[in-house]
Structure 1
């Protein structure tokens, strides 16, 4: 630790005094990262098993992405969309050729990408389905997490997210996740879209029943409904495929991406869609000063190259199967259920275990950083660059903590 660096205790106290208390982080103060590792201000090394909610799928400070950032920052960082820049068009082409969609609309945060998708579905409903003005409805799923804007939290089923922030925007109906009968019951002549996560990450790595996505695609086709997948956490390799919806061989009409699109270096998100849906946007109907800026485009382009050229998607599939096999083999009375796909798992504990946070705090002490969600679930989401040796050491520790803890 540098002699001029502040201690963790001092920095935590400073944060508590001067910052809003809208998070409850673990008491570890990080100052450096490389690959699957991070270090705190005292110099202790940890394996990162959260990967910034999948934003650093490519690992911390990947040199190719950092180089793209620094080289572009020396030349041009921002033009606004009032003018064109030379990094924007190549990224659009790369995104669409890589993902198979026709058009891309770039924003900054994941929530902005979701807001873009909502606007697209509604406008399509008015212009192409003939829904009466201001009557468009979108079906979402319970247990969802799509962002923190007032529109998005208005259809959350998490009281912590919604309490005290109403009134909320109308036009959303919530179906039970994975329940096709419940979803069909909500469809009417005003239904313009269905927005859902093919894997609910914040919900604890929860997946719908097998075949749900295929049936949903058929329902959307039958009723002329736009199907949009939120793949901000699940996309770009996390589940062992480019997108989680690929596991069922379906194609949505649109998809939101973010987080790993930047490799954890600079905020950038996108809404990808087919031509028929994206053409609802005309000059002045949507925008962002920073959306599609040259710095973000250079970073995103490098992040995509790393994902593909270093075979990180294939690594997620192979090591993910191994990780799930090992986690499911842990013989602990605290474990109620293990859910997972790719390098992504949710370990749901029995309520009698006393909550997941105490296990995460114990793992932190031992050099492994995980984060609880919804009180009783430990999430595992290491960077996709993690090695089998690093994974084995982490899983040995996890097994020991879950087995030994009283």
Structure 2
């Protein structure tokens, strides 16, 4: 089975989008460049007409197993009817107003659920980006210091502040270079980036040395650094999973210098990694926790920052929040989602599905020359795609696998990267999970036999599936 994409209805909508959205003209230029280079097949695109449970349906009637999952925001499946009903009831009763009782009910429900239950204060935000920026300002004000440390490959959002803190790529902050004065970058031990032929253990030692010795000795005195912000798994950076020794080393260094440990769990939190919080895999108590995505079942935007009494009990100077932070609908969605988690044992179900997927995906590096490795932590799943001729990570081979998976009915995350990432709902039916993994295997096999669509990143014009794409 292979869909012809885009279908006629999707094509008509996409043409409208190219005329009005950001950088829409860029897509046509890249298409022309690919045609001139002799590429006969355009990357697939589509427009979705319906999302339901484990599936998406496009405007031309094609069905897809949903591994994109609202960018990991729909833990209980697409358009969960219970959450929608709770949101509707809240909107009907409260509309949008401040100081409604649901704000307090959610705070009292959520704080005991934080890692090891030692957080006592929280603040509502709208998005993960806002929450990460708020957490950083809280740390700066709590420690009365001016610098924050983040890590290579990290991603904390697309706001002005979080772009500067993120280590996604130098291109993501083009023309903003001069704004990075308060951000210190530390290396993250991803195996494919180890310098000087280091093995992973040597690279961990180097990364910890850089954090503990190089930065405070040569960059900024330790007492001017407020803390570090880190993800338990670098999701947007390619699902890189840190060794436990590295994470515990970071925490030890924080305690040594009095730095705050900020844990960004926007994508890894609330069951995505097979535990309620990703940081629980490392036996670490964070000082500040950033929460988003899963908390409202993908229906309403809300995010939360929680922290210890020391950080938020009397933090005079930090300020955050926005007009729609902690709306009645958002709080109602979160309360219902957490109720479903408890009632249906969602985290345990996710852990079971993760074992099923890991067993299947572990075979891929042996089955396929273009799969360098798989990296799985719970339902944070990925395949690292390489050029079979060089063994090097390849954006073009990776994007081609993502494209071919879409044609075969599996919607994966491939954000212009060499890695294909899978974020299924935490309640996906096991047979659907296996069906989707089978479709991805077909896609990998096809690309391995036929080669990538492009030869280099300048020729391989963007796909991005839904919409005109401005990349």
CA positional deviation for 1:224: 0.9
Count residues in correspondence: 390
* Partner of residue 344, structure 1: 380
Inter-partner Cα distance in structure 2 for 1:173 and 1:194: 9
Q: Deviations over 1:54-110 (max 9, x none)?
A: 111121011110111111111113224xxx211110001011022222111110011
- 1:96-111 to 2 correspondences below 5 Å: 96-99=111-114, 100=117, 101-111=119-129
2:236 maps to which of 202, 205, 222: 202
Change (3 A) 1:290 1:26: farther
Inter-partner Cα distance in structure 2 for 1:8 and 1:141: 39
The answer to whether structure 1 residue 257 and structure 2 residue 291 are counterparts is: yes
- 1:25-104 to 2 correspondences below 5 Å: 27-80=45-98, 84-99=99-114, 100=117, 101-104=119-122
CA positional deviation for 1:404: 3.2
Inter-partner Cα distance in structure 2 for 1:333 and 1:402: 10
- 1:6-405 to 2 correspondences below 5 Å: 7-21=9-23, 27-80=45-98, 84-99=99-114, 100=117, 101-126=119-144, 131=145, 136-157=146-167, 158-178=169-189, 179-184=207-212, 185-187=214-216, 188-282=222-316, 285-330=319-364, 331-352=367-388, 354-373=396-415, 375-405=417-447
CA positional deviation for 1:321: 1.8
Inter-partner Cα distance in structure 2 for 1:393 and 1:211: 36
Inter-partner Cα distance in structure 2 for 1:26 and 1:137: 44
CA positional deviation for 1:44: 1.5
For the 8 Å contact 1:237–1:307, the answer to whether it is kept is no
Change (3 A) 1:336 1:125: same
CA positional deviation for 1:355: 2.2
Change (3 A) 1:384 1:150: same
Inter-partner Cα distance in structure 1 for 2:416 and 2:184: 22
Change (3 A) 1:148 1:385: same
CA positional deviation for 1:280: 4.2
CA positional deviation for 1:282: 4.7
For the 8 Å contact 2:296–2:337, the answer to whether it is kept is yes
Inter-partner Cα distance in structure 1 for 2:113 and 2:139: 23
Inter-partner Cα distance in structure 2 for 1:18 and 1:378: 29
CA positional deviation for 1:112: 0.3
CA positional deviation for 1:361: 1.4
Mean CA deviation greater in 19-28 or 43-52: 19-28
Where structure 1 has 5 or more consecutive residues not aligned to the other structure, the ranges are: 1-5
CA positional deviation for 1:215: 2.1
RMSD across aligned C-alpha pairs, in angstroms? 2.0
Mean CA deviation greater in 291-300 or 25-34: 25-34
Q: Any idea what SS the aligned residue of 2:94 has?
A: coil
Inter-partner Cα distance in structure 2 for 1:26 and 1:295: 36
TM-score calculated relative to the size of structure 2: 0.79
CA positional deviation for 1:52: 1.8
* Partner of residue 3, structure 1: none
Change (3 A) 1:382 1:162: same
Change (3 A) 1:307 1:15: farther
Mean CA deviation greater in 207-216 or 324-333: 207-216
Inter-partner Cα distance in structure 2 for 1:398 and 1:79: 45
